[in-house]
Amino acid sequence: MSGEPGPTCEAPPPGEVEPGSGVRIVVEYCEPCGFEATYLELASAVKEQYPGIEIESRLGGTGAFEIEINGQLVFSKLENGGFPYEKDLIEAIRRASNGEPLEKITNSRPPCVIL
């Protein structure tokens, strides 16, 4: 034994940050509408891609599924009528983490499928 301490948790090397660090997302959704499952699915996909991201959920009004990144509204189900595509949200997060300007997500998938 060398007498040196064992491995410890280390911060990322200088110049390297955990993906998503410094980006804060707030998702406001309507719980009685059954949108919690959509929130959880989206949050899981985002955390997988950006482990350092901070995601907060808030209960919103009827029909709401609103997403803010660093205080800027980037998606509104009330305006678009559907839910965001994961790839569009991931792209918005990438832009935010790189300090690029954010644009509103206008693509949306339908809230339900009629068979």
Domain boundaries, the chain: 24-98
Q: Would you state the pLDDT for residue 92?
A: 96
* Helical pair 86-97 and 36-49, crossing angle rounded to 10 deg: 50
Element (H, E) at 65: strand 65-69
Query: Which one is the CATH code of 24-98: 3.30.200.20, 1.10.510.10, 3.40.50.1970, 3.40.30.10?
Result: 3.40.30.10
Amino acid at 93: I
Element (H, E) at 58: strand 54-59
How would you write the pLDDT of the chain (115 residues) with one tens digit per residue? 445 444 443 444 444 456 667 899 999 999 999 999 999 999 999 999 998 899 999 999 999 999 999 999 999 999 999 999 999 999 999 999 999 999 999 999 886 655 5
Q: What are the structure tokens assigned to 33, written together?
A: 């509408």
Q: Would you state the pLDDT for residue 29?
A: 97
CA distance 30 to 8: 42
CA distance 46 to 88: 11
